[in-house]
Amino acid sequence: MRKRGTFASGFGTVAAVGGSVIGLGNIWRFPYIAGENGGAAFILVYVLVSLLLSVPLMLSEFSIGRHSRRNAMRAFRKVAPGRPAWQGVGLLGIATALLILGFYSVIAGWALEFLREAAAGSFRAQTPAGLKENFDTFVDSGWRPVLWTLLFVAMNGVIVSRGIQKGIEKFNKVVTPLMFLILLGMAVNSFTLGGLREAVDFVFRPDFSKISGAVVMQAVGQSFFSMSLGMGIMITYGSYLRPGDSMFRVAGTVAVSDVCIAILSGLAIFPAVFTFGISPTSGPELVFLTLPNIFAQMTGGYLIGILFFFLLFAAAITSSVSLTEVVVAYVSEEFRLSRRKASLLTVLAVGVLATLCALSQMSGSPLTVAGKDLFDLFDSLTSTYMMPVGGLLIVIFAGWVMKKELLRREITSDGRYGTGIYPFVRALIRFFVPAVIALLFLTQLGLLK
């Protein structure tokens, strides 16, 4: 087997993994999910879920990846030889990454279109009805979303084809800190708006009556989606961790960054929402329909609009690069292809899926299954079924199939870090995490109430 790449530095590792985590899940999805599920109550549940479920799951994926030094499918074969059925978990993760790229790339294409419109000053003098009509016309045109989507997919291919250190790590070391600075600047600017007090109350004063099983399940789904879990990313990135890297430091830094970025997104968006009398429960259109209208009305809105949609694009590409790497690593290693050839094949496959997803959004499109267009179908399949099942099987594998000493050695970096907390983490991996994921998943399917 050809020599496998690794991340070159501790900062590069955190930047790459953090770049995967800081994506559309934080900037686009989190604000409206929080808005629909009680604001601060949802955020509190989200923080607990991230610490008690997502971090142990991330450590499990890192451990499988670093020990195997293989792609997401072959990793299970290396860790548990003689048990070929477990390779299916890796294949599930690769399939999940591919389907997510299908609809995720379309949203990223929208971000590029809106970045162009923001730079052109197209939001000025537009009514909310006019913005909605323009967006609907854009989506319904077919070729324009496809063009932006394919451009975005090609960008991913170029970055990934350059390798781990020269491509993924180098790119994220620049873009990830830049995203944080832009978001921080937007949050500071929002502090000057009249709706700040309402926004702070909404984000930091929980109404515990809002917490329900549905809210918890939303928090789990959002955390898994945002932290790139159950889709092969952290197994693949784990395979690039150096032997001396502290998994606790990487996972902890990434989890804290994820929560902070999500809260910063809320603080950047909700003050403007409350200032201009918009409901925080506006749903997915909050970013693409509501905010452009707000930018058109606020002082400095032209520049803020440009920065926001650049941020949205940057968040999309840092996350999609990690999704693309999952597929590229598999194709390269299983079919013995160069990274460039594997990247090209992956880009072609993603381009086809993303094009179909974009076209399925057109009015009257025949690209539907069971009443859902392909865009919504891929979103629903991955978030409702594939990621929870993948996460559940991964923690079961790490806690019950992977050798006890092997798991300890990987998570603690051979006894260098976190030996005191390791027994608690192992208990979470073996008992708490699988039990909670299974209960929530069965509840969502309607099998438990």
| Tens digit of each residue's pLDDT (9 = 90 or more) over 113-135 | 999 999 999 888 777 788 888 88
Q: Report how far residue 199's alpha carbon sits from residue 40's, in angstroms, rounded to the nearest whole number.
A: 10
Contact 116, 164 (CB under 8 A): no
307: number of Cβ within 10 Å:
19
Express each pLDDT in 309-324 by its tens digit.
999 899 899 999 999 9
Measure the N-to-C terminal CA separation of the chain; round to a whole number of Å: 50
Predicted pLDDT at 282: 61
Is residue 83 assigned to a domain? yes
Is residue 449 assigned to a domain? no
Q: Report how far residue 61's alpha carbon sits from residue 38's, in angstroms, rounded to the nearest whole number.
A: 31
What lies within 8 Å, CB to CB, of 403 at 6+ separation is none
| Average pLDDT rounded to a whole number, residues 237-243 | 91
Mean pLDDT rounded to a whole number for the chain = 89
Structure-model confidence comparison of residues 236 and 224, the more confident one = 236
369: number of Cβ within 10 Å:
12
Is residue 4 assigned to a domain? no
Q: Is the pLDDT of residue 344 over 90?
A: yes
Predicted pLDDT at 289: 78
Q: Is the pLDDT of residue 364 over 80?
A: yes
Predicted pLDDT at 215: 81
445: number of Cβ within 10 Å:
11
Structural domain count of the chain: 1
Confidence band, pLDDT 50/70/90 cuts, at residue 3: low
- Global pTM? 0.92
Confidence band, pLDDT 50/70/90 cuts, at residue 416: very high
Structure-model confidence comparison of residues 38 and 334, the more confident one = 334
Express each pLDDT in 17-30 by its tens digit.
888 887 777 777 78
Is residue 3 assigned to a domain? no
Q: What is the CATH number of the domain that holds 210?
A: 1.10.4160.10
Express each pLDDT in 273-307 by its tens digit.
888 777 766 656 677 877 888 888 787 889 989 99
Q: Report how far residue 307's alpha carbon sits from residue 179's, in angstroms, rounded to the nearest whole number.
A: 10
Buried b (16+ CB within 10 A) or exposed e, 184-217: eebbebbeebebbebbbebbeebeeeebeeebbb
Contact 143, 100 (CB under 8 A): no
Domain that holds residue 119: 10-444
What lies within 8 Å, CB to CB, of 256 at 6+ separation is none
| Average pLDDT rounded to a whole number, residues 420-433 | 96
Predicted pLDDT at 194: 83
Token output for 79: 């860790």
183: number of Cβ within 10 Å:
24
Predicted pLDDT at 93: 95
What lies within 8 Å, CB to CB, of 321 at 6+ separation is 19, 20, 156, 159, 160, 168, 171, 172
Is residue 2 assigned to a domain? no
